[in-house]
A = this chain, B = another copy of it.
Amino acid sequence: MTLRHGRDYHRQVVTIADVARAAGVSPSTVSYVLSGKRPISEEVRRRVQRSIQKLGYHPNAGARALASSRSNVLAVVIPLRTDLNVPVVMQFVAAAVTEARKHDHDVLLLTKDEGPEGLRRVAASSIADALIVMDVEANEPRLPVLRALDRPVVLIGVPDETGGLTCVDLDFTAAGSACVTHLAELGHREIALIGPSPAVYKRGTSYAGRFLRGFRQAASKRKIRASSFPCPPSYDELRTRLDEVFTRHPGVTGLVVHNEAILGSLLSELSRRGKQVPQDISVLAVCPEDMAEAHALPLTSIALPTAELGGLAVEMAMRQLNGGAGQSEVRLLSPKLIDRGSTGPVVA
């Protein structure tokens, strides 16, 4: 290959043939040492390993992908908007990357903005072996494309009709219900939900609706007066919502907060208003555990297990990839409530 520019960035360093030569075996043997797909004598294995080390061999990804029809890359599709809670999204991504590496895969980042054509492109060009899709809507428009993709797909979130796709998520319906139950058992009779941004509902984001449904159903079953206040992520908006809550529903003694972005503001605003938590008002959050713990007053919460969900999504994709395909699966993790002291009994 010729040297084209000041620096040649296109040089293949070491090939499998180099390793084979150095170890005195055939290329196929090196390949099998690497893949473990057939028995190799200890003697040979060691020689090959040593040559690999010594030469600093790394298999060429393109060649491997071409020959094996496996790219060892996982595509993760994320939203790029800011109305979605960015830190939460990143927790999912981080978990996915970590788990993917355990399966010898890398993660390719796709944005929702690329649309269906992006999904098709990545799948059809065999850039990725499988896809993990986040920010799923109840009436998910990408479903037909995803189903036609001919690759494993795992949704983090559950659309109304899964259409045979694999999904994993927190059981938000149960979570909504669990919130009501917890507060009801503490004697609360009137509660309010500070929910995600109206934009999230409007878009039909899957988890928001499911949570609200569980919340409302449980409330009506238990004869609890429950109201819902979607809240954009800003201090001012939050303050307005609180005004609404306390003027329209002066009897509210418990707040359920399903909105990570305004947790901090909520606590400071409550304290500014002279409301003690939990004496004057109980606060129950739905959020990742670290976010529940990161406040002056640690929050009782239903954990959003981002690490577990991200990891599971990858595992499920891998299982499909390795033959466990066929059965579509919808996996809903049961909500776990952790009492950190921000909820308490109603004081008469």
Contact = CB atoms under 8 A, between A and B. Distances in A.
Interface of A: 4-7, 9-14, 56, 58-66, 69-71, 73, 76, 80, 82, 86-87, 89-90, 93-94, 97-98, 101, 106-111, 113-114, 120-122, 124-127, 129, 150-152, 234-236, 264-265, 267-269, 272, 290, 294-296, 320-321, 323-327
Contacts of A69: 10, 12
A125 B61 contact: yes
A133 B327 CA distance: 40
A244 B155 CA distance: 48
Contacts of A86: 86-87, 90
A66 B62 contact: yes
Contacts of A59: 125
Contacts of A108: 73, 106-109
A97 to B, nearest CB: 6
A164 to B, nearest CB: 10
- Copies of this polypeptide in the complex: 2
B9 A325 contact: yes
A238 to B, nearest CB: 10
A325 B7 contact: yes
8 contacts: A5-B325, A9-B320, A13-B124, A101-B114, A106-B110, A106-B127, A235-B296, A236-B296
Q: Which of A65, A70, A71, A326 has the most CB of B within 10 A?
A: A65
Q: Which of A107, A111, A124, A272 has the most CB of B within 10 A?
A: A124
In order of increasing CB-CB distance, the 8 nearest A-B pairs are: A6-B326, A62-B65, A58-B124, A62-B66, A10-B69, A58-B125, A5-B323, A7-B325
Given A106-B122, A294-B234, A80 B58 contact: no
Given A106-B109, A268-B269, 10 more contacts: A5-B325, A6-B326, A6-B327, A9-B152, A12-B126, A82-B290, A106-B108, A107-B108, A109-B109, A234-B294
B109 A107 contact: yes
A86 to B, nearest CB: 4
A108 B93 CA distance: 12
A61 B56 contact: no
A235 B80 contact: no
Given A108-B109, A290-B82, A326 B272 contact: no
Contacts of A120: 56, 58
B62 A71 contact: yes
A13 B123 CA distance: 10
A209 to B, nearest CB: 25
Contact of A121 (B58, B235, B295): B58
A250 B215 CA distance: 49
Given A93-B109, A235-B264, A150 B9 contact: yes
